[in-house]
Structure 1
Amino acid sequence: MEGASGDGLGASNSLEKWKTNFSRTFQHYLDRSTPHPVGRWLGALGVALIYLLRVYLIQGFYIVTYGLGIYLLNLLIGFLSPIADPEIEGLDGASLPTRGSDEFKPFIRRLPEFKFWYSITKAICIAFVLTFFSVCDVPVFWPILLCYWIVLFILTMKRQIMHMIKYKYIPFSLGKQKYTGKKAPANGSPPQ
């Protein structure tokens, strides 16, 4: 009796050890990928192309693809939205600057770029795995789903762009601004 319970405990410990080692290794590679956004996004694009190729060759799993599209649209909205939304918080001081005299507050995303990439990649991998289960292949007329998704995308982006215009923010930056100093006068004398 005691030997049987000891074997179960040993198997449980080895499974826990394997899980811990896998988690550490996975986190190590995630951490190493952090400073390489171009490589990460190219990898995500590759995974997406493989998924789309599989869906195209199987000619199915349109509901899974539609659900993936809705989820990706939701992630995009989080990526383009500020962490302190003036509409939600009621303009109680922690809002975006609306006038030139307001204090500058940098744009901080509700969903950071790394989490955006990670969520997209994870969602595409889950959708890819779902394409191996026939129960997920619900027969639908895919052009209607595509049209509905396009309409949803247009309406959602219109709302997001109107929000950006209303609160005067741009969710993208082109890097740190550089100070070039005073320009020299046209006659060649040094600046004063």
Structure 2
Amino acid sequence: MSATDTGVEPSPVQNISAAYTRVTRQYQQILDRWTPHIMYRWLGTAGILSLFFLRIVLSQGWFIDAYAIYLLNLLLAFLQPKFDPSLQEDLLADEIEEGGTPMTSPLPSARDDEFRPFVRRLPEWQFWLSATRATLIAIGCTLFEMFDVPVYWPILVVYFFVLFALTMRRQIQHMIKYKYVPFDIGRKARYGSR
């Protein structure tokens, strides 16, 4: 039943709401089509990021926008397990002290060698989507002069690399201590003669 059938015209708010719903539905359909194409999604994001850095280098501005601390936080969340084993050990020790039954850790340990898959704190899809959105917003910021904050860029570059090295060192030590690898390295085990 349409608006002309009832004789009542839709209000401007209803028109805006319907248009917004239509746009969000189309946006979700596009994202759903891109979901299985992991390599192409990441290549596209790398291309967008390259264009952004090229824009920064050629324009000699917007160095604050290029300071990718948000992307570093996304990377760290992607590399971390959803259930932190160090927190699980603390909870386990507290329960044993109180005389309760011990909880199981989501990662294999010396006490329990059962395989448990690595569950990320930030799934790959959310990592890609957030990184792509952040890069597109940063490119959008370079279109406006008000976002070009004057800063001595070599300090930002050195600070970013020092911050990256320190956080990755801590993360790698955590991975070694709790014996997990956040990447699927190599092929899956295949059984049989072929």
TM-score bracket, normalised by the shorter chain, equals 0.7 to 0.9
- Residue 133 of structure 1 corresponds to which residue in structure 2? 144
- Residue 59 of structure 2 corresponds to which residue in structure 1? 58
| Alignment coverage as a number of residue pairs | 174
Do residues 123 (structure 1) and 123 (structure 2) align?
no
- Residue 16 of structure 1 corresponds to which residue in structure 2? 17
Equivalence map 1:51-90=2 (5 Å): 51-66=52-67, 69-89=68-88, 90=90
Query: Aligned partners of 1:88, 1:71: CA distance in 2, in Å?
Result: 24
SS in 2 for 1:82: coil
Letter aligned with residue 103 of structure 1: E
Letter aligned with residue 82 of structure 2: I
Query: Aligned partners of 1:55, 1:162: CA distance in 2, in Å?
Result: 34
Do residues 177 (structure 1) and 189 (structure 2) align?
yes
- Residue 29 of structure 1 corresponds to which residue in structure 2? 30
* Residue among 158, 164, 170 paired with 1:159: 170
Q: Which runs of 5 or more structure 2 residues have no equivalent in the other structure?
A: 1-7, 93-102
Percent identity for Structure 1 against Structure 2: 48
> Shift of the alpha carbon at 1:175?
4.8
Q: Which runs of 5 or more structure 1 residues have no equivalent in the other structure?
A: 1-5, 184-192
Farther off after superposition, 55-64 or 73-82: 55-64
Letter aligned with residue 73 of structure 1: L
- Residue 189 of structure 1 corresponds to which residue in structure 2? none
> Shift of the alpha carbon at 1:101?
4.9
Letter aligned with residue 21 of structure 1: R
- Residue 188 of structure 1 corresponds to which residue in structure 2? none
Farther off after superposition, 27-36 or 53-62: 53-62
> Shift of the alpha carbon at 1:100?
8.0
Query: Aligned partners of 1:79, 1:12: CA distance in 2, in Å?
Result: 40
> Shift of the alpha carbon at 1:145?
0.5
Query: Aligned partners of 2:187, 2:74: CA distance in 1, in Å?
Result: 23
Alpha-carbon distance change, 38 to 74 in structure 1, aligned in 2, over 3 angstroms: same
Query: Aligned partners of 1:176, 1:22: CA distance in 2, in Å?
Result: 40
> Shift of the alpha carbon at 1:15?
1.1
Query: Aligned partners of 1:24, 1:95: CA distance in 2, in Å?
Result: 36
Query: Aligned partners of 1:175, 1:111: CA distance in 2, in Å?
Result: 23
Query: Aligned partners of 1:116, 1:175: CA distance in 2, in Å?
Result: 23
Query: Aligned partners of 2:15, 2:150: CA distance in 1, in Å?
Result: 43
Query: Aligned partners of 1:72, 1:79: CA distance in 2, in Å?
Result: 10
Letter aligned with residue 64 of structure 1: D
